[in-house]
Structure formats: C-alpha cells, structure tokens
Amino acid sequence: MGHRILHLSDTHLTASGIDEDGVDAAAALDRMLYDARHVPALDVVVVSGDLADDGSPDGYADVLERVGRFAAERGIPHVYCPGNHDDRAAFAAVLGSGHRAADGDDAGTVPPGLGRCAAVGEVRGLRVVTLDSLVPGEVHGTLGAAQAAWLTEILATPAAAGTVVVLHHPPIAPVDSPLLGSANLRDVDRLAHALRDTDVQAVLCGHFHLQLSGTIAGVPVWVTPGVATRIDRTAPPHLERAVLGASATVVDLGVPGGPMFQTLHARDPRAGTTAYLVEAVSGVDAVEDDLPR
C-alpha cells in the first residue's frame, strides 16, 4: 500500500500576501494549488517550513486557509513544520501541532517540554514526523540534542507503513554553493544517528528554493523547490538568482522503484523572471531586481 504526498515549501505568506522581496506569495500559492488540482490519489499535503515570511499570525492563518481548503476538498490531512522565517509562538497559536486532519482538527502529538514545534502523526499507517530546525535570527538550522533524542525514541518502534521525516533545513547542500553550504542543517550527525537502521523512507526538506536529492544514513533526502520563488542555479557561481515560478513535488512512497519524486511547476507566464539577484557569498546585497511591479 503506497502513499502519495504533495510536498510544498517556502510559501512565505505575510499579513498582506506580499513577501519581503516584493513577490505576491499568496498568488503563487494559489497558482500552485490550482495547477495541482488534477494530481490524483493524494494522501496528504506537507508544507516544510517558511510558511509566513513575517512570522505573523495572519500569515499562518492564510496558509492554513488556502492549503486547508485544498486538502478538505480531497478529504486528506495537511501537515506543517517551521522554518527560519517562522515564529514558534505564532506557529503554535495558529497551527497547533502542525498536523491537521482533513476537517481541520489538530491530529498531531507534541512531545512535552521540548520547546520546539516538533510533532508526530499518522496517515493510513504512514508515520509523519515533523521536526523544528529553526534557530531564531539565523539562516542555518539545528535539531538540538533533546529533539534528536526524541526522534530516536520515536523511530525505535517501526510504523505500519514506515515513516517520513519532514524538516525545513536540508542535511545536504550543493558542493559548489558557499551560500547554501552555510545555510543548511548544522548538526547533521545527530539526524543521521537517529535515522540509521530505521523505517524512514524519506526525509523531506525545503529552504533552498531548488530541487535537490541526496542521502543521509542511507535514507533518501529530497529538497523541494519553493512556492514563492525558486533559485536559478544557472546564475554565475558568485551570485544567487531567485526567479518567479511556483513549484512543488509529488512524492510516491511504497511503490516499485520508490521513493519517487516528481517536480511540478505552476503555469505562470512570468516564470523565470528575476525576483532578486544577490552576491552569494554575503547573500544580502541586492545587485539586480527586474521583477515587474
């Protein structure tokens, strides 16, 4: 019995719907969900962090309403984890555990006393574990010893249909990107130790705004491109170019040859238009912006 996941990430919604780069993030999410409407046999929607660009309750409520409506129309649950742009208090206040049933009810279990927005839930026998790799004020992420120990304890008992682990910061990075190589998960060894010789079928991440695959402790890792923007890796190595064009992934687990990852691109007439171009070493100084206003 397989499972099919619609994997979104980096929606970057705000109270106004416009993110800090001037991108209409609300419209990008709507376009992606609309163009994914014909994807058959989905079991769950997963959103792997950077839900609200401004960390506002309104931003989380907007993501929940839009993704929740898509999920409710299909009678499937929807699951969220925080990213570096997110705010833990606002995330928890609006999303609870981050695991929502098709009817919107909170369906996740949160570990007591962890101080992070981690949780575990179940979808037709598939265990879904969401981790919190947020380091407030920083671009990189960490798990921390307590969260890694909790994950190890959870994974000690196999689930009926295996497990998928969701977190924002990838434990991998392109070898030729100094920016992404400093913005990923820092305590990779802790995650690897928790995953080794378990029933985890895949680790799903976001953050990089590009599609990337690799492995950790023999487990496939998938980084889905962003919804608000995606990174164009054809830019010169010293630059980072973000372009318009909402993207997502369909993840198939428990299928022959799986797990499989199919990237979806929303049909956007402005796809490929530069949203920003920055020096990749610093990642802060804008040198070009030709996004139509």
What digits encode the pLDDT tens for the residues 91-107? 999 999 999 999 999 99
Averaged over 15-39, what is the pLDDT?
Answer: 96
pLDDT at 283 over 60: no
Torsions phi, psi for 61 (to 5 deg): -60, -35
User: How many CB atoms within 10 Å of residue 290?
Assistant: 9
Q: Backbone phi, then psi, for 146, in 5-degree steps?
A: -65, -45
Check: CB of residue 165 under 8 Å from CB of residue 192: no
The model carries a pTM of 0.94
Q: Which of the four pLDDT bands, split at 50, 70 and 90, describes residue 281?
A: low
**Which residue do the tokens 């209409």 mark?**
24
Facing residues of 4 across strands? Answer: 252
What are the φ and ψ backbone dihedral angles of 74, each rounded to 5 degrees?
-105, -5
Residue-range domain boundaries for the chain:
3-288
* Residues 6 or more apart in contact with residue 244 via CB below 8 angstroms: 23, 28, 229, 268, 270, 271, 272, 273, 275, 291
Average pLDDT over residues 249-263: 97
179-233, pLDDT tens digit by residue? 888 899 999 999 999 999 999 999 999 999 999 999 999 999 999 999 999 999 9
Calculate the average pLDDT of the chain: 94
The highest-level CATH class for domain 3-288 is alpha beta
| pLDDT tens digits for range 48-66 | 999 999 999 999 999 999 9
**Which secondary structure element, helix H or strand E, spans residue 154, and what is its range?**
helix 145-155
Q: What is the pLDDT of residues 141-192, one digit of tens each?
A: 999 999 999 999 999 999 999 999 999 999 999 988 878 888 999 999 999 9
Find the radius of gyration of the CA atoms of the chain: 17
* Local structure of 192: helix, strand or coil: helix
User: In the prediction, which pLDDT does 180 show?
Assistant: 84
Structure tokens at 159: 């689930």
Q: What is the pLDDT of residue 287?
A: 34
